[in-house]
Structure 1
Amino acid sequence: MIRTIFLTAVAASVTASPALAQETAGAPPAVTAEVAYIFNTLLFLIGGFLVMWMAAGFAMLEAGLVRSKNVTTQLFKNISLFSIAGLMYWLIGYNLMYPGDDGWSIAGWIGQLFLPKSIDPVGSGVAGDGYSAASDFFFQLMFCATTASIVSGTLAERVKLWPFMIFTVILTGLIYPIEASWEWGAGWLDQLGFSDFAGSTLVHAAGGFAALAGAIVLGPRLGKYRADGRMQPILGSNLALATLGTFILWLGWFGFNGASQLALGSVNDAADVGRIIVNTNAAASAGVVAAILATQLMFGKIDLTMVLNGALAGLVAITAEPLTPSIPAAMLIGAIGGVIAVATVPVLDRLRIDDVVGAIPVHLFAGIWGTLAVPITNEATSFGVQALGVAAIGAFVFFVSLAVWLVLKATTGVRVDQEAEITGLDVSEMGMEAYPDFVQAK
């Protein structure tokens, strides 16, 4: 009854307002600039809330996939990196990423440095702007924080806290905003026609490249690779938490991709947001099924952790272009992402690159796949330009991150000592344990 009354009132208000009347028979109703402003702003805010919820997903996923002696440290890293991103993106990142037409320090390459983001004064929204400046900043900030979250899981169980936080300052304040400006800030890649709808490469592969650089500098955990060359599995502490984290990330991705439409002020935009969300879900589902089949065929048994990563890889893969694919095409893109997440884990092990949560297979390799696959369904793009974009962003993020990690290694050091690693970072770095009731008295 309440729903019927509400819909009747909305229909009556639309019919009564000349500004909302259809311009021509059969055409979608036109809306005022003020109404579009409100709905666009709501899209940014609700999408931002969902992407922020992904921070909880990363925290739970990582807490479940590390050993119990390192859980507190992972939880701390996730809340600290989110907060560091919140400050650095305001102080430097946003205007570095979105310099406008005349705000480039180096045209198309580097935006405005050290110019904090300003927002609309109280009560001064301008309908002609299309959306609230504050809502846009908030939404974009969530993507910046997501990039840093990817690094956290890969480097778990052996990285020192302060060097990790220093790296997060540089990643969220400089590295991510610069490379993202090349496309989303109308920089040189955008001018060439590169397309990454919601950030398969700009966010996910970038985080993966930064994580890869850190993993190379840090080296593997003690006991991960034996002297005979074999890999020794190191099991996580709580697969229930890891599964919960995956579902939280899956939910948050609807805001990540859906709100990247950047508009909800028209019938067409609303329809496209719905299409994006359906494709996003289809890709994740296909990623799960593909990972189930891949682990059964490759290892003889289904591996839950890889199935969880199959869902995330499907989500990462579809993020570069969730709008134009049909549902079967979205499923195919997600399924290939799921297979990639499974198949690349042994490759990293052969290279002795220790990725605790599988973030590099999921975010880096599946992100690259999703970006290269864009021209399959989006005729406005080309495989050559997509490959160029991936190579340029990858080279920039990897080598700058590698330089930062090497400087930190030479100065503060980046890895805890052997005794601290054996004892666990919760005790050595934090002085508190996540599960104190389960610790046996000595």
Structure 2
Amino acid sequence: METTSNILTINNVWMMICTALVFFMHLGFAFLEIGLTRQKNTINILFKNVFIICVGLLLYCLVGFNLMYPSGFVAGFIPDYFFDLFGLSAPVTDAGLDLTYNEGYTYWTDFLFQGMFAATAATIVSGAVAERIKLPSFMIFVVLYVGIVYPIAGSWKWGGGFLDKLGFYDFAGSTLVHSVGGWAALIAVYLLGARIGKFGSDGKPKAIPGHNIPIAAAGVLILWLGWFGFNGGSVLSADPGATSITLVTTCLAAAAGGVGAFIFSSFLYKNYDLTMFLNGILGGLVGITAGADQMAPTDAILIGLIAGVIIVLGVALVDKLKLDDPVGAIAVHLICGIWGTLAVGIFGAMAGWDQFLIQLAGVGIYGAFCSVSALVILLPIKATMGLRVTKEEEVQGLDIHEHGMDSYPDFRMNQH
């Protein structure tokens, strides 16, 4: 009995450490986004990122956890008087106090770990729509997408739903987190339109440099560190073998993604583009996430290398379609998320034609559901409140107009 208790403690402590690492990723996302955008919108981006994690956790507590794992888990999170108010009987569960809830971790650790994932989907959208979306419109979108769409989509696989029964596999969220956010980002970018000055009169894309590339690089390295929790925690225990191979494949894919992107972009554009290198690392991480526990190290390297090439081609494709994504979120999270999901059917322990078709079906189902859901949320917002700030606000910067503050008051630069 004591041995069982010790194993539970070890597993639970590892899960809590991973929870903290996934939380730390939100700082990485914030750094990456502010680094790759202009100084005049820094506070606006930071505000969105802080809003996402705060509201995301609250929504997951009150709504999302129960939608995603439909087992009456809502008990303990909503006070009894809410049920009394509507003449309902409160659900009865002692799962929060019952250490036999799960052999790997407690009920509360389960909630907190999964809650950290929920907010990430909206953070992906934040970077793609940076510098021109109205803050109130974005906040309403986050509430509806994180509160309802993400947990419903998650329940289909991680909640034991129909895709789980079909055999669809997504270990840590190449589709369930990254593509869920990526599809919404694609729809939002399309509805918003490009930033002023992004495309010239000839239709060719023009670079709008970020104001702090060192901060962006720090953000990517923080995200890489956070992925130890993102993928490592998805083992759902501290099992030495499963955790070790997961962390090895995660790191190798990240490194290979960076190298693949920088070599391929250098070949195409005849320069050493650090931002492409950084996004290649993220592409490798997203690409391995669906099958990190299934791959051999050499498989992980190949998946990462291909993801790095996909990043370069994906960024070029987004520009060619005249979509403006300031941080490359669509290429990283959507396109590499699709690649990582399909890679499960090509490499590793689950490789096979049947599995590939199941993975492909899952990609299509999630793509349709998330795209339609994003349209259903964003089109009414666009028709009523509007999605985009005015030209004057965009040119002068959202920090001054929406927050009345300057991110660097002692070093103000007039950026247009």
Could you say whether these structures have the same fold, taking a TM-score greater than 0.5 normalized by the shorter chain as the test?
yes
Shift of 1:344: 1.0
**What per-residue deviation string (whole Å, max 9, x for no partner) do you get for residues 193-235 of structure 1?**
0000000000001100011111011000011011111111100
Which residue of structure 1 aligns with residue 63 of structure 2? 92
User: Aligned in 2, Cα 1:187/1:44: closer, same or farther, shift over 3 Å?
Assistant: same
Does the CA contact (< 8 Å) of 2:101 and 2:107 recur in 1? no
Shift of 1:36: 2.5
- Is the aligned partner of 1:312 residue 2:282? yes
Which residue of structure 2 aligns with residue 239 of structure 1? 213
The number of residue pairs the alignment matches comes to 397
Which residue of structure 2 aligns with residue 14 of structure 1? none
Which residue of structure 1 aligns with residue 252 of structure 2? 282
Q: Which moved more, 1:182-191 or 1:124-133?
A: 124-133
Does the CA contact (< 8 Å) of 2:66 and 2:73 recur in 1? no
Does the CA contact (< 8 Å) of 1:90 and 1:117 recur in 2? no
Which residue of structure 2 aligns with residue 35 of structure 1? 6
Shift of 1:35: 2.1
Distance 1:200 1:117 in 2: 33
Structure 1 residue corresponding to 2:107, chosen from 129, 133, 150: 133
Distance 1:102 1:262 in 2: 18
Distance 2:151 2:308 in 1: 28
Distance 1:128 1:234 in 2: 51
Structure 1 residue corresponding to 2:166, chosen from 175, 183, 192: 192
Which residue of structure 2 aligns with residue 51 of structure 1? 22
Shift of 1:100: 3.5
Does the CA contact (< 8 Å) of 1:312 and 1:362 recur in 2? yes
Distance 1:117 1:236 in 2: 50
Which residue of structure 2 aligns with residue 292 of structure 1? 262
Does the CA contact (< 8 Å) of 1:309 and 1:341 recur in 2? yes
Tell me the C-alpha RMSD between the 2 structures.
Answer: 2.2
User: Aligned in 2, Cα 1:153/1:117: closer, same or farther, shift over 3 Å?
Assistant: farther
Which residue of structure 1 aligns with residue 315 of structure 2? 345
Query: What secondary structure does 1:202 align onto?
Result: helix
Written as runs of structure 1 = structure 2, the 5 A alignment for 1:293-442 is 293-375=263-345, 376-379=347-350, 382-439=355-412
Does the CA contact (< 8 Å) of 2:34 and 2:46 recur in 1? yes
Written as runs of structure 1 = structure 2, the 5 A alignment for 1:146-185 is 146-185=120-159
User: Aligned in 2, Cα 1:440/1:231: closer, same or farther, shift over 3 Å?
Assistant: closer
Between the two proteins, what is the percent identity of the paired residues? 47
- Is the aligned partner of 1:229 residue 2:203? yes
**What per-residue deviation string (whole Å, max 9, x for no partner) do you get for residues 382-428 of structure 1?**
01110000100111011110221111001111100000000001111
Does the CA contact (< 8 Å) of 2:344 and 2:351 recur in 1? no
Distance 2:90 2:253 in 1: 37
Structure exhibiting the larger radius of gyration computed from Cα positions: 1
TM-score if structure 1 supplies the norm length?
0.86
Shift of 1:120: 5.8
Amino acid at match of 1:364: L
Shift of 1:95: 0.7
Amino acid at match of 2:316: P
**What per-residue deviation string (whole Å, max 9, x for no partner) do you get for residues 243-288 of structure 1?**
0000000000010001100122xxxx22110110011000000001
TM-score if structure 2 supplies the norm length?
0.92
Distance 1:60 1:82 in 2: 15
Shift of 1:117: 10
User: Aligned in 2, Cα 1:435/1:404: closer, same or farther, shift over 3 Å?
Assistant: same
Distance 2:314 2:173 in 1: 21
Shift of 1:378: 2.6
Shift of 1:41: 1.5
Which residue of structure 2 aligns with residue 252 of structure 1? 226
Shift of 1:337: 0.9
Q: Which moved more, 1:321-330 or 1:46-55?
A: 321-330
**What per-residue deviation string (whole Å, max 9, x for no partner) do you get for residues 168-217 of structure 1?**
00111101000111000000000000000000000001100011111011
Query: What secondary structure does 2:208 align onto?
Result: coil
Q: For structure 1, which runs of at least 5 residues remain unmatched after alignment? A: 1-18, 20-30, 104-113
Shift of 1:379: 2.6
Which residue of structure 2 aligns with residue 65 of structure 1? 36
Amino acid at match of 2:398: L
**What per-residue deviation string (whole Å, max 9, x for no partner) do you get for residues 124-164 of structure 1?**
34246322100010000111011111000000000010110
Which residue of structure 2 aligns with residue 9 of structure 1? none
Distance 1:169 1:320 in 2: 26
